[in-house]
Amino acid sequence: MTIRSLVLLLGLSFLGSSPELPNFSGQLFLKQKGQADVYTAVGSADLNHQVPMSRESVFDIASLNKSFIANLVLQAVAEGRWKRSTSLNELLARYQFSARFNKGINLHQMMCHRSGLADYDAVASPLKENEFQAFKRQHFTNTAYLDFIAKLPHQEPNKAFHYSNFAYHILAILLEAEYHMHFDELLAKKIAEPLKMKVLRSPKNREELLPNLTIGYRMREGRFLANDYIDLSLGRRIFCRADELMQWLESGGGRSLLPDSLGNLVMQNHLADLNQDQAYGYGWVSYTAGDHYEMGDLDLTEDYFIHGGSTEGFQSLAVSVNQGETNLVLIANNGDGRALFERAQSILKNIYE
């Protein structure tokens, strides 16, 4: 596949976009064994100041941060600090937090969304307005955030799949408490430095300006408007570029940083006994040829693992097919929903079908 055919396929421009499938503004990195790499950046990093997108542009990677958080938890397990069966309440008591949750919740369940912990849809109605803007503009300390989540209604653990961003937010807080360092420093020490990533960051607050940071745009009333504020500390948001996310895929989604006994669990479907319609490992969804699940189904006839997300106008998706035979990273700063997923699906079906 030539660069030209990819450009034609994706319609790589920012203008003339629509809410259903906005034209692409972001970075695309495609690596396929035996083929030339395709790494391109198109669109606008900042419309107001006419800053063009470049390979140096940095994005919020949305829910792809879960693969990094899960990896750090498993590194703590490998070091003997925790067990996957260690209970949430045991750790909260160890680190002298007052919040308490259902006594059955453990780290394994939190990583694979069996914990029953709440997600954004459980917050009070006033905090849901304008895409949770009121909620995301609150400044929480770790203690206050745990207390807030503990008061939300949640389900019985280990009974069903319930995707919970809050479970992963709690995991990041526990990591900080265990290692006595901010999540950003932990991310640098245990992932960025070993893999020689130079951009991967999780800012402590929004006053920490990141070089080459793009602006996220969401469609409102027929046009893209910038998201002008978000508390970057909430949920330990991670920022990166497509080339370093490609390094993450090439590390096996972080498995190279783990002993085989734990690395083999990253792509295992930990929901197989609960729900035939869903699959989730530790921060990734893994497909064997012929599998079809509700989340991440590219409808390919190949093995692959995948994760993606969308937040505040940023979209991210990373997928590795046939043990790294083809790796694809897409990150964008315009729109919401399935636009990136549909592009990834078109590219990979073009290659394999």
In a domain, 324, yes or no: yes
DSSP 160-205: S----HHHHHHHHHHHHHHHTS-HHHHHIIIIITTTT-SS-B--SS
Q: Which residues contact 93 (CB under 8 A, 6 or more apart)?
A: none
In a domain, 38, yes or no: no
Token pair belonging to 117: 């912990």
The predicted pLDDT at position 248 comes to: 98
Token pair belonging to 154: 């949640």
Tens digits of per-residue pLDDT, 213-239?
Answer: 998 888 777 777 787 666 656 657 899
Q: Which residues contact 328 (CB under 8 A, 6 or more apart)?
A: 28, 29, 30, 31, 317, 318, 319, 320, 321, 344, 347, 348
Burial (0-12, 13-18, 19+ Cβ within 10 Å), 309:
middle
The predicted pLDDT at position 138 comes to: 75
In a domain, 44, yes or no: no
The predicted pLDDT at position 312 comes to: 80
Where helices occur in the chain by DSSP H, the ranges are 3-10, 65-78, 88-94, 107-111, 125-136, 142-150, 165-179, 183-187, 242-250, 260-266, 339-352
Quote the radius of gyration of the chain (alpha carbons, Å). Answer: 20
The predicted pLDDT at position 205 comes to: 72
In a domain, 37, yes or no: no
Provide the pLDDT confidence category of residue 54 given band limits of 50, 70 and 90: very high
In a domain, 40, yes or no: no
Scored b (16 or more CB within 10 A) or e, 159-197 reads: eebbebbbbbbbbbbbbbbbbeebbbebbbebbbeebeb
- Average pLDDT over every residue of 63-84: 98
Contact 265, 280 (CB under 8 A): no
In a domain, 36, yes or no: no
Provide the pLDDT confidence category of residue 64 given band limits of 50, 70 and 90: very high
Strands (E) in 20-81, as ranges, are: 26-32, 38-42, 44-46, 51-52, 59-60
Contact 244, 191 (CB under 8 A): no
Q: CA–CA separation, 34 vs 75, rounded Å?
A: 33
Contact 279, 271 (CB under 8 A): yes
Q: CA–CA separation, 204 vs 300, rounded Å?
A: 39
The predicted pLDDT at position 12 comes to: 52
- Average per-residue pLDDT for the chain: 89
Token pair belonging to 293: 């699940």
The predicted pLDDT at position 100 comes to: 97
CATH number, domain at 159? 3.40.710.10
The predicted pLDDT at position 232 comes to: 53
Tens digits of per-residue pLDDT, 165-206?
Answer: 999 999 999 999 999 999 999 999 999 999 999 999 998 776
The predicted pLDDT at position 204 comes to: 79
Q: Cα–Cα–Cα angle for 83, 168, 45, nearest 5°? A: 140
Tens digits of per-residue pLDDT, 21-35?
Answer: 457 899 999 999 999
Tens digits of per-residue pLDDT, 255-274?
Answer: 999 999 999 999 999 999 99
Contact 317, 306 (CB under 8 A): yes
- Average pLDDT over every residue of 66-73: 98
DSSP label at residue 87: B
Tens digits of per-residue pLDDT, 296-339?
Answer: 999 999 999 999 998 888 999 999 999 999 999 999 998 765 78
DSSP label at residue 41: E
Q: Is the confidence at residue 14, as pLDDT, over 50?
A: no
Phi, psi torsion values for 87, nearest 5 degrees = -80, 150
The predicted pLDDT at position 207 comes to: 65
Provide the pLDDT confidence category of residue 286 given band limits of 50, 70 and 90: very high
In a domain, 251, yes or no: yes
Domain residues for 118?
A: 3-30+49-352
Number of domains in the chain: 1
- Average pLDDT over every residue of 145-154: 94
The proportion of the chain whose per-residue pLDDT surpasses 90, expressed as a percent, equals 71
In a domain, 79, yes or no: yes
The proportion of the chain whose per-residue pLDDT surpasses 70, expressed as a percent, equals 90
Q: CA–CA separation, 144 vs 226, rounded Å?
A: 29
Contact 300, 346 (CB under 8 A): no
The model's pTM is 0.93
